[in-house]
Structure 1
Amino acid sequence: MDSDSHANFPSILKGKKILLATESWGPVNGVSRTTRSLVEYLRDNGVDLILVAPDFKGDTAKQSTQVSGERRLPGCALPYNPDLTPRFPGLPNAAADSPTALPTPVLLNFQTDLSAYSEIMLPAPLDRFGVWLLATVQGFLFRTSAVRTIFYPCSAIRGYLEGAGAPADRMVKLGRGVDTTLFTPDQRDASFRREIAPNGEVILLCVCRIAPEKGFEFLAQVAMRLSSEKVPFKLLIVGGNRNPVVESRVQRLFDPVRRHVEFTGFLTGAALARAYASADLFLHCSVTETFGLVVLEAMASGIPVIARDQGGPSDIILHGKTGYLVPPNDLEQFTSLTRQVARDTELRSSLSVAARQFADDTTWEKINRRAAWQMADALVQTDQEAHGSRPPRPTVLASAMEQFRLIFAVAIVYGMWLIAVVPLIVHGNRLLPRAWMAVRRQLVARI
């Protein structure tokens, strides 16, 4: 895919109409930043792109950023994170204007591991049921004949896709890029460092959405252990949640070490780049990341990373060279490595240089160009099939079976809403307090 013949944007896509449907368009997270990069790349290269995404609560900038060819669909925000807005179930209508929509080639980009979220958010035995249900529905979609390519971000997700029944010959690994002009060690700000760590403490950084599935209970335990060992540190947590109840409960996890912790809320652009570059060490405690864009942004900023060895970060971090990977539940080793890197300035410097060098080879231009060539190849293949030997006209029985498959798929979607989404919406705010209180009791007991 990176051969000389694919060094430029594929000309076949210029002027083509492409429908891009995304779960996230607007909130500050890795999925939306990845999608926005691809959208801008395609439009800049002459693609007639129609973008379809759900509305989400708190989209105050929507009116100013919405452009022609952008369509919002109604949905219902989840209580624990209003940025996640599942679309109301129903028959697809985005391609209703075209009678030839069904043969149109489809490329899927698997960016959010809802299965991992189900394991964390749902109580037993619903957690296992949620994983099974998602795999069943997603596997059905993956095997649809119109799907030509399934992009996946890391080896762990490929394993999940194979287990769900995705055809191996359709899967293509597509990572994420990083803006190495914005995220750079040059953004390091001495005055900002003095503001955060006035006594010269080492600055530990975490950047992510503040939500239950992001591993904050693990991070809180790390901070408590570092504090008990008298390590001079400040923990800078960048991110937020549009549900203030959830954000407040996460912050209370750090009450025992609050003098060491600073919450900044959402940061973007230069302010985010400054926070990255001004830190000394990045701590990544989530185990639900399909890629972990923040890890790559930290590395581009010259900041070594310590992460739990699960999901996307396992494919990004070079253990012992750009940072360290720790078994997901090994709190002792995670804390020990954090303490070691925090105290060893020469080690931090070596890791920092290697991290930046790694990021220099991972740009959005390369990633988006790979995606564009996959689109081009799908169009060429479809055109060849259209001008080749046409398949026999389907029988009445075959047509009836196809209609049954469509109705069955829609029924499963409605079933998922009734079983998973509706209970989260109705009971989410009432269930979360009990869950967070249980986590907090466990943390306090370990001090």
Structure 2
Amino acid sequence: MSDRPLTLVLVSTPVGQLGSGRGGGVELTLASLVQGLVQRGLHLHLVAPDGSCSPVQSAQVTLHTVPGVDQPSWQHAERDSPMRIPQDAVLPRLWTCALELASDADALINFGYDWLPMWLTPHVESRIFHLVSMGSVSAVMDGAVADLARWDQRRLAFHTRRQASDFDLVEPPEVVGNGFDLSRYELKLGTDGPLGWAGRVAPEKGLEDAAAVAARLGETLRVWGLVEDNAYARRIESAVPAGTIEWCGFKPTSELQRELGGCRALLNTPKWNEAYGNVVVEALACGVPVIAYDRGGPGEIIQNGETGWLVPPDDRDALEQATLRASSIDRQACRGWVERCASQEGLAARVEAWIRRGLTPVDGTIS
């Protein structure tokens, strides 16, 4: 295939409008990738729920929005739950729009973790690729990923090898990592700030462990992120001394990085297999060491003893001891790792290379 500029249709997550925070890390990934692909000269159609904002104002990006009811996230479903599409759902409308645009595009990239677009992939002429945003949380989705891998695994990419290992693949996985606009993150070298925690406030994120460690150390824990489960947040707050948690809310990147950069360490306490760990890299980009459970994507990202400390999953004692060693981490080394491994430009180059390889016919595949 020639190296002429590609035209791509990017289909956003159906769990919430872009800019709302409900899409979690997918929103940040999509924004970074759109900016990076525009810099590489690609032309993009961005399909998203009504109320969404384009992350880039450029003649190379056209935003298409559609109405509909948000799709329930698989993250909050029982493992054996069936596929559910609400009445007046936005999910099929996103794909009706995307497939109409596909006749003038080289390929479509799906950012939603959903069964419908994976099922569609072998059944339509348009070439659909999937940047898988989560690990294994659903039997239905595990089957969809495995079926697509058997049909043509080139259509799948993952953020980390640990994430990909959750699935039944037929070949080594395509791993593209993630990337960030590093001009938006300022390196801060101070080491005497509070402890921080960032992410959606929901049980799978394990905020209670970080709060417990902060309470043991007699420190304040600043918490950034959308509170998805208010009852869960109240339970955590009631379990630690008053004033331990400072709720900072969901913040745009400019505010988050400014406040997060003042922390002496970020605690990362996932109870599930995180696909990547965007907040880990955002902290590192500000020079903030990360103390994390050695689980999922963060366990692959953090360089133990260089950019933070990894401890056994769910071990609060080990988390506390590692937090006391945060000052031994060189904050410039944290930023250096991000510049080498998680830039916006690097992500865009890796994704474009993946798409171009997948568009090249190979003997023995339907492609």
Please tell me the TM-score bracket, short chain as reference.
Answer: 0.7 to 0.9
Match of 1:68 in 2: 62
Tell me how far apart the structure 1 counterparts of residues 283 and 136 of structure 2 sit (CA, whole Å): 25
> Residues 42-101 of structure 1: CA distance to partner in whole angstroms, max 9, x if unpaired?
33444332222345xxx5x6499897342335233549999xx97737595332577898
1:33 maps onto 2:28 in alignment: yes
RMSD: 3.6
Cα separation, 1, equivalents of 2:3 and 2:307:
39
TM-score with structure 2 setting the length:
0.76
Unaligned runs of 5+ in 2: 77-83, 105-122
- The residue type paired with residue 264 of structure 2 is D
SS class of match (1:181): helix
- Contact 1:76-1:86 within 8 A present in 2 as well: no
Q: Does 1:285 align with 2:264?
A: no
Deviations 1:173-229 (A, max 9, x none): 1111233322222497xxxx9xxxxxxx751011112222211222232233323xx
Identify the residue that residue 226 of structure 2 maps to in structure 1: 240
User: Aligned partner of 2:253: which letter?
Assistant: G
- The answer (yes or no) to whether the contact 1:236–1:261 under 8 Å persists in 2 is yes
Amino acid at match of 1:160: D
CA–CA distance in structure 2, aligned partners of residues 207 and 168 of structure 1: 34
Aligned length: 325
Per the alignment, in what secondary structure is the counterpart of residue 182 of structure 2? coil
TM-score relative to the length of structure 1? 0.63
Q: For residues 77-226 of structure 1, what are the structure 2 equivalents within 5 Å? A: 78=72, 88=89, 93=96, 94-96=98-100, 102-113=124-135, 115=137, 131-145=138-152, 148-161=154-167, 164=168, 166-168=169-171, 171-186=173-188, 202-226=193-217
C-alpha distance 273-258 of structure 1, shift in aligned 2 (>3 A): same
What residue number does 1:419 align with? Answer: none
For 1:177 and 1:98, how far apart are their aligned partners in 2?
Answer: 26
Q: 2:200 touches 2:225 (CA, 8 Å); kept in 1? A: yes
State the one-letter code of the partner of 1:377: R
Instruction: Tell me if 1:373 matches 2:347.
Output: no
The one-letter code matched in structure 1 to 2:351 is A
What letter matches 1:159 in structure 2? S
Corresponding position of 1:198? none
Distance, in Å, in 1 between the alignment partners of 2:26 and 2:102 is 29
Give 1:32 deviation, angstroms. Answer: 0.8
Question: CA–CA distance in 1 between the matches of 2:55 and 2:355?
Answer: 30
Q: Following TM superposition, by how much is the alpha carbon of 1:374 offset from its aligned partner in structure 2, in angstroms?
A: 2.0
Deviation at 1:109, TM superposition (A): 0.8
| Structure ID, larger Rg | 1
Conserved? CA contact 1:187–1:274, under 8 Å: no
Distance 1:366 1:333, change over 3 A: same
Specify which of 254, 259, 262 is matched with residue 237 of structure 2.
Answer: 254
Off by >4 Å, runs of 4+ in structure 1: 61-67, 77-82, 89-92, 96-101
Q: CA deviation at 1:274?
A: 1.1
* Conservation of the 8 A alpha-carbon contact between 1:54 and 1:86: no
Q: Which has the higher contact order (CA 8 A, sep 6+)?
A: 1
Q: Which 5+ residue runs of structure 1 have no aligned equivalent?
A: 1-9, 116-130, 194-200, 228-232, 392-447
Residues 6-31 of structure 1 deviation map (CA, whole Å, 9 limit, x = unaligned): xxxx97342x4322223263333321
The correspondence of residues 410-425 of structure 1 with structure 2, limited to 5 A, is none
Which of the residues 276, 279, 291 maps onto 1:294? 279
Query: Is 1:236–1:263's contact at 8 Å kept on the other side of the alignment?
Result: yes
Cα distance, 1:365 vs structure 2: 0.2
> Distance in 1 between the 2:136 and 2:49 partners?
17
* Match runs of 1:9-20 below 5 Å: 12-14=3-5, 16-20=6-10
Q: Distance in 2 between matches of 1:336 and 1:63?
A: 43
Is the Cα contact below 8 Å between 1:52 and 1:73 reproduced in 2? no
Q: 1:378/1:323 Cα in 2 relative to 1: closer, same or farther (>3 Å)? A: same
Distance (Å, rounded) in 1 between the aligned partners of 2:49 and 2:189? 34
Identity of aligned residues (%): 25
Offset, 1:321: 1.7
